[in-house]
Amino acid sequence: MSQVFEAGKTTIGLLGGGQLGRMMTAEARRMGYKVLTWIGGPNDGPADWADEVLAEPFDSNRALEHFLKTADVATVEFENIPRSLLEKLALEIPVRPGADAIAICQHREREKNFLRDNQIPCAPFSLVDSAEALEAGLAKLPESRGILKTAEFGYDGKGQTTVSSDVDPYTTWSNFGCIRAVLEDRINLASELSVIVVRNEEGETITYDPVENFHSNHILDVSIAPARLSEEISKSAGEIAVKIAEALNYIGVMAVEFFVSTEGKLLVNEMAPRPHNSGHHTINSCDTSQFEQQLRVICGLPIGSARTHSPSVMQNLLGDVWSEDGETPPDWTKLHRIKGASLHLYGKSRARRGRKMGHLTISGDSISEVMEKLEKARAAVGLPEFGS
């Protein structure tokens, strides 16, 4: 049996200071836990709900000493935490998920090699470290076109560009400006989906219903739960997510993102070793939210039910819907008038285009009902018709 960290006696050490940490902190405080958040830099607002905030770099020895003195167990709210720090923490307190799993998921090259080594379906890819390697990689792809992605620090479409054999590989590689990259085949997409999987220290796993995702400018726009896909695809996605969690010896909540090709192939796009944007609906439409599940697992409590009790749709709210100066939000009253709508704002100090400032979840009795309400919500904040 794993060690149980009791409410009222335990401080959760949280690495990262964004909205995922904010929502995890809200659940922790509801459950009776204290939270120490080490954000690795200046505080922009979302971390304010923690009992204590360490606004110091992740290489600060003073912060490390205080974190270890205060926290009983540690977890992450984003994956780009230095592996060396995770390993130092693990010498003194439990870190869940572990450094090895996070290191694989935070680095596209390691992630792709992991998928290939474990016979998990993903888009054809090659590793690129030079213009010559880029040219050779493109020649191997079916239509000599692909997506070039940095090996590190890529999210929400950052660190990637479309490439083809029609352009000069030397100029492309020089402009891309990184040392190592992954070149992937550009899949003809029928749909995109994700699965939230939960695994504890004893190896028990559960999955939430797959979620259907729609992106705009490489940023998640809308998630529909459950996904409007065949039972066969949904079942296969859940099975693959469990296989990944087991192969990583994973402890915690993880999101696995998938492509579904126009040929009907299910391909893993990437993994996120933490709660995920596409799992936000679980706060309102499932028996146990993804954030509560993370706390349950890292504290040695039983895994909660992942049952979806209400169909739902999640709409990301980016800084684009604020005023031009980033100071004035939309009139939220219009959203609050929509039955079944729940508004979540992240407390960030300033809005800007493409920045995730909050989300809206709409729950109801059917997918058709929540999709109708989604259109009303989008119109209320000045977004175009969803149309899918």
- What pLDDT is attached to residue 258? 98
The CATH superfamily assigned to 189-380 is: ATP-grasp fold, B domain (3.30.470.20)
Where in the chain are all domains bearing CATH 3.30.470.20? 189-380
- Rounded CA separation 104/330 (Å): 39
Distances (CA, A) of 216 to 70, 195, 280: 41, 20, 18
β-pairing, 219-225 vs 312-318, is antiparallel
Mark the ranges of the chain whose per-residue pLDDT is less than 50.
none
Angle subtended at Cα 131 by Cα 125 and Cα 136, rounded to the nearest 5 degrees: 45
Residue ranges, comma separated, of all CATH 3.30.1490.20 domains in the chain are 124-185
> 184 with 147: CB under 8 angstroms?
yes
**What pLDDT, on a 0 to 100 scale, did the predictor assign at position 305?**
98
Domain ranges in the chain with CATH number 3.40.50.20? 11-95
Q: Which fold has domain 11-95?
A: Rossmann fold (3.40.50)
212 within 8 A of 202, measured Cβ to Cβ: no
The Cβ of residue 281 has, within 10 Å, a number of other Cβ atoms equal to 30
pLDDT of residue 168: 87
pLDDT of residue 158: 65
The CATH number of 124-185, from 3.30.1490.20, 2.130.10.10, 3.40.980.10, 3.10.50.40, is 3.30.1490.20
SS3 breakdown of the chain: % helix, strand, coil, rounded to 5?
30, 30, 40
